[in-house]
């Protein structure tokens, strides 16, 4: 078990790599940053795309019983009133009368007083106010006027548009229970203390499924989804022993839930939630039916009964999953180089599905036109199929290291053998080097798409 | 040329189909709707994914000289102050002193007075105020306090995060001019009069490239990007003769632009902009350099010069493009059916790349277990490769019509030949029916992935 300081150091290295190589930047960094908001750089944007596409592929495209939705972020106040978010989606806050800082009342011991950062407000004997509720939603005004009627909110979860469109989706897709509606998109919470890099941020992306069912199937399906979702994390490269399941106890679950499992990951900063699998019962559909005066019901053709469906919700944090993937991938390896010297190789051991770049393509030398031309041919062959990075600068060993550091699983080097200088047998073959084992193999150019493509799924 | 009433009728049919089949729903419809916001239903969400993925594939994955970014929606006020959006991003508005309605001052003749909807405010002799500027950005407060310092905005364009991250991207990617940064994401404008279905909405998605270059290349690259972008629309199924190019005259361009082309499409409600290709000069990078006190410069290794790059921006509206694709695809065809009766076939002639469902899979009869089992095998074979819709209810002809109406390019029917009842020669073959020609072909099951897959690119 790593010590706290080792874990902190590891996390600092990860944050630094993310910035240095273009995974994640602070939003508006050049203006001092917008606290709790992050921009994915070129590599981070590719990881995000890979993760979202894989999630959608497995949960929507390959399943008959789940369909997609892509709802608006701006949300009608009536939706969030009915769902309970306007009344109840808040954190208890306390203010310090001396230093004016604001703290989450339930996290006072974990927080630091800005006046004396070595101490918590409690240790510092801060003069704290009574807790007040602070709503976590961002509000704005829609339309030309700025009165109460024009208030709308940035959605605090993607789930609500699924509930309010349930009837439209049911009618247009002719689905039968149990079935799900899936959505990927941004959600927003005005967290008082954004922290742990992208982990707790104010703007984040969710990947949510609302899986509708009969009441009697709710608990069983919650357990099934828990297992399926754990399998998903394993498929993208998070080993089972780094995942923890928290059976959220009574009194700590959200107001709508009668059973919730949190799937947690062992981050360097602690064991924290990646996804909640919540049995939301019929709470949301019932509330929206009541508030709108139009009951949201399902008609069972066999039993001829009408009822409000129950729902199981596997709700994954996209940014948190990316952070877990980055933390899990980060590795430092001691190697002895060509000159017999010890050196450290930093390697991001991403699953090839997730890796932002799939293949580096290198001409051995940049001043040899035949090598460069051939390398560009190889690049053009692979580019329609996968994200390729062409690099001709510096020694090949250094180019490998650069790709290791961003987790590129394969590199293809075009050398004199490739251009036929050592006989026809090796002509039109390249050296393919695998990231983790650093093993090299000779592969025919025409077989490259299948060779690499087959290892990406 | 279709008359106005024919065009209106066509648009009404399209809007109705979009709701009926689950392409697009009004946001919060069950609560009366949130004006200017839309939710993409199961089919709309797939079209959107197809369009965004194709755009990213062509502009980022297949190009060496463009990298991606995925920035936050919440935007620091300093960013938008520097860019000119806080001061200048507004529409002139007038109010009617009688009916209290608010109109865009520059569109008074086109708008209708709510008191007398047959007349414009001008025709109605409304008592209008002097124009006032109305800022189009949505604002909110970030953090625990609600003072001026905590104001942030929902980005009015994705472009700004590209400009403020320019230096980080340049440093992490080692790109050389000319090169681009691409982004797909939501943007928000508090339009006073959202209208024309999803065309002018308050929440929308952009697909933007900021292509940085030397000053002397700006105008040439603007022309090149215009051509390339027109080619893109042709590739996704919008014919060249439905596209119009507007060379935006002096005085009508945005404040940052010295040359802008609008690429317009001939919508049923008029010729309207899909994309702007704007030469933004060095305006944005220069402004952010000035405002932050940190000049944003590029160092040319050959000339040893430092300068602020110029930028060409092809900025496409994702929702507008989807609406154009839907309008373009919609077709009604008169047919004589099996019984010699005239009927109308509604068919969405989407390009196969864009179509939300790629293949319908039908067992001829649902009460014949061998047919159903075989059809499910076919579905399982295709599902990892494309979006498939399995349908076993009603006559096959009716199932074809349902797929025509959502634009599915292929349907595979599993019949008695497939299960070997008419000899080994036809066993394991299916009938593949093509949407537009309605031609049918017999294809071996094992060849289906290649047969259909090859027609989707």
Q: What's the pLDDT score for residue B113?
A: 73
Predicted-complex ipTM score: 0.94
A20, A79, A164 ranked by CB distance to B172: nearest: A20
CB contact under 8 A, A21 and B172: yes
Ranges of residues in chain A whose predicted pLDDT is under 50: none
Say which residue the tokens 């310092």 belong to. B149
CB contact under 8 A, A169 and B22: yes
Q: In a 3-state reduction of DSSP, which class is residue A246?
A: strand
Q: How far is B169 from chain A (nearest CA, A)?
A: 7
Task: Give B328's pLDDT tier (boundaries 50, 70, 90).
Answer: very high
CA-to-CA separations, A198 to A72, A186, B231, in angstroms, rounded: 23, 14, 39
Q: Which residues of A touch B74 (CB under 8 A)?
A: 27, 34, 37, 138, 188, 202-203
CB contact under 8 A, B34 and A142: yes
CATH architecture designation of domain A357-453: 3-Layer(aba) Sandwich (3.40)
- Which residue of A81, A90, A142, A356 is the best one to mutate when testing the B interface, meaning the one whose CB has the most B CBs within 10 A? A142
Q: What's the pLDDT score for residue B145?
A: 78
Are residues A146 and A128 in contact, defined by beta-carbon separation less than 8 angstroms?
no
- Which residue of B28, B168, B200 is the best one to mutate when testing the A interface, meaning the one whose CB has the most A CBs within 10 A? B28
Q: Which residue of A has its CA nearest to B387?
A: A61
Q: How far is B86 from chain A (nearest CA, A)?
A: 16
- Report d(CA A361, CA A381) in Å as an integer: 11
Q: Which residue of A has its CA nearest to B292?
A: A31
Q: What are phi and psi of A329, to 5 degrees?
A: -75, -30
CB contact under 8 A, A34 and B386: no
Tell me what the mean pLDDT of segment B342-371 comes to.
97
A21, A142, A169 ranked by CB distance to B42: nearest: A169
CB contact under 8 A, A39 and B71: yes
Q: Which residues of A touch B25 (CB under 8 A)?
A: 165, 168
Q: What is the pLDDT of residues A27-50, one digit of tens each?
A: 999 999 999 999 999 999 999 999
A32, A72, A190 ranked by CB distance to B39: nearest: A72
Topology of the domain covering A4-85+139-326: BirA Bifunctional Protein; domain 2 (3.30.930)
Q: How far is A420 from chain B (nearest CA, A)?
A: 27
Q: What's the pLDDT score for residue B108?
A: 77
Q: Is the pLDDT assigned to residue B118 strictly greater than 80?
A: no
- The residues, any chain, with a CB within 8 Å of residue B276's CB and separated by 6 or more, are B248, B260, B261, B262, B263, B313, B314, B315
A32, A69, A144 ranked by CB distance to B45: nearest: A69
Three state DSSP letters for B260-310: EEEEEEEECCEEEEEEEEEEEECHHHHHHHHHHCCCCCEEECCCCEEECCE
Q: Which residue of B has its CA nearest to A149?
A: B34
Q: Which residue of B has its CA nearest to A191?
A: B143
Q: Which DSSP string do the residues of B232-251 spell out, in sequence order?
A: HHHHTT--GGGEEEEEPPTT
Q: Which residues of B touch A146 (CB under 8 A)?
A: none
Q: What's the pLDDT score for residue A146?
A: 78
Q: Which residues of B touch A64 (CB under 8 A)?
A: 379, 390
Are residues A278 and A312 in contact, defined by beta-carbon separation less than 8 angstroms?
yes
Q: Which residues of A touch B69 (CB under 8 A)?
A: 39-42, 45
Q: Which residues of B touch A37 (CB under 8 A)?
A: 72, 74
Q: Which residues of A touch B383 (CB under 8 A)?
A: 61-62
Describe the strand order of the beta sheet including B243-247 as a list of residue ranges: B66-68, B179-188, B203-213, B310-317, B270-281, B259-267, B243-247
CB contact under 8 A, B35 and A67: no
CB contact under 8 A, A383 and B44: no
- Report d(CA B280, CA B258) in Å as an integer: 7
Q: How far is B1 from chain A (nearest CA, A)?
A: 33
Q: What is the pLDDT of residues B101-117, one digit of tens each?
A: 778 787 777 777 767 77
CB contact under 8 A, B62 and A384: yes
Q: What's the pLDDT score for residue B101?
A: 75
Q: Which DSSP string do the residues of A180-241 spell out, in sequence order?
A: EEEEEEEEE---SS-BTTTTB-SEEEEEEEEEEE-GGGHHHHHHHHHHHHHHHHHHTT--GG
CA-to-CA separations, A223 to A64, A110, A314, in angstroms, rounded: 20, 32, 11
Q: What's the pLDDT score for residue A1?
A: 62
CB contact under 8 A, B75 and A138: no
Q: What is the pLDDT of residues B121-155, one digit of tens each?
A: 777 778 888 888 888 999 999 988 778 889 999 99
Q: Which residues of B touch A25 (CB under 8 A)?
A: 165, 168
Q: In a 3-state reduction of DSSP, which class is residue A96?
A: strand
Q: Which residues of B touch A79 (CB under 8 A)?
A: 28, 31
The long-range contacts involving A145-148, CB below 8 angstroms and separated by at least 24 positions, are none
Q: What's the pLDDT score for residue A88?
A: 79
Beta-strand ranges (E) seen in A77-194 are 90-95, 102-104, 132-135, 139-141, 151-154, 179-188
Q: Which residues of B touch A387 (CB under 8 A)?
A: 61
The DSSP call for residue A61 is I
Q: What's the pLDDT score for residue A353?
A: 96
B31, B69, B161 ranked by CB distance to A79: nearest: B31
Q: What's the pLDDT score for residue B1?
A: 62
Q: Which residues of B touch A164 (CB under 8 A)?
A: 28-31
Q: Which residue of A has its CA nearest to B204?
A: A72
- Report d(CA A366, CA A396) in Å as an integer: 11
CB pairs under 8 A between A and B: 231
CB contact under 8 A, B74 and A20: no
A22, A30, A70 ranked by CB distance to B172: nearest: A22
Tell me what the mean pLDDT of segment B402-422 comes to.
97
CB contact under 8 A, A72 and B143: no
Say which residue the tokens 């407000």 belong to. A121
Q: Is the pLDDT assigned to residue B9 strictly greater than 90?
A: yes
- The residues, any chain, with a CB within 8 Å of residue A102's CB and separated by 6 or more, are A93, A94, A95, A96, A192, B144
Q: Which residues of B touch A57 (CB under 8 A)?
A: 384
Q: What's the pLDDT score for residue A446?
A: 96
């Amino acid at each position: 078990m790593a010590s706290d300081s080792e874990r902190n150091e590891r996390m600092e290295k990860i944050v630094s790599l993310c910035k240095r190589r273009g995974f994640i930047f602070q939003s508006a960094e050049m203006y001092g940053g917008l606290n709790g908001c992050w921009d994915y750089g070129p590599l981070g944007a590719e990881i995000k795309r890979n993760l979202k596409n894989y999630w959608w592929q497995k949960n929507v495209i390959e399943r008959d019983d789940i369909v997609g939705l892509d709802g608006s972020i701006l949300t009608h106040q009536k939706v969030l009133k009915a769902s309970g978010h306007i009344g109840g989606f808040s954190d208890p806050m306390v203010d310090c009368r001396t230093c004016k800082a604001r703290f989450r009342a339930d996290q006072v011991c974990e927080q630091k007083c800005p006046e004396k950062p070595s101490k918590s407000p409690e240790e510092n004997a801060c003069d704290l106010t009574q807790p007040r509720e602070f709503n976590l939603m961002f509000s704005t005004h829609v339309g030309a006027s700025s009165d109460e009627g024009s208030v709308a909110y940035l959605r605090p979860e993607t789930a609500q548009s699924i509930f309010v469109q349930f009837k439209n989706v049911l009618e247009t897709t002719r689905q039968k229970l149990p079935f799900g509606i899936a959505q990927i998109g941004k959600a927003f919470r005005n967290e008082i203390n954004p922290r742990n890099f992208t982990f707790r941020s104010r703007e984040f992306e969710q990947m949510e499924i609302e899986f509708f069912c009969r009441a009697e199937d709710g608990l069983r399906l919650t357990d099934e989804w828990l297992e399926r979702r754990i399998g998903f994390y394993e498929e993208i490269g998070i080993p089972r022993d780094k995942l923890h399941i928290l059976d959220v106890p009574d009194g700590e679950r959200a107001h709508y839930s009668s059973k919730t499992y949190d799937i947690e990951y062992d981050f360097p900063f602690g064991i924290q939630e990646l996804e909640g699998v919540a049995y939301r019962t019929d709470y949301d559909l019932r509330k929206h039916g009541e508030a709108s005066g139009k009951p949201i019901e399902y008609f069972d053709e066999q039993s001829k009964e009408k009822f409000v469906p129950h729902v199981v919700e596997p709700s994954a944090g996209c940014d948190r999953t990316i952070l877990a993937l980055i933390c899990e991938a980060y590795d430092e390896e001691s190697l002895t180089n060509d000159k017999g010297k010890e050196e450290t190789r930093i390697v991001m051991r991403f699953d090839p599905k997730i890796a932002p770049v799939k293949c580096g393509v290198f001409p051995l030398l940049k001043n040899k036109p035949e090598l460069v031309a051939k390398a560009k041919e190889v690049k053009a062959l692979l580019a329609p199929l996968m994200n390729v990075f062409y690099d001709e600068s510096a020694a090949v060993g250094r180019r490998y290291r650069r790709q290791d550091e961003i987790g590129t699983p394969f590199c293809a080097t075009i050398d004199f053998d490739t251009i036929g200088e050592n006989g026809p047998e090796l002509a039109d073959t390249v050296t393919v080097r695998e990231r983790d084992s650093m093993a090299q193999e000779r592969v025919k150019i025409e077989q490259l798409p299948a060779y690499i493509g087959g290892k990406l799924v």
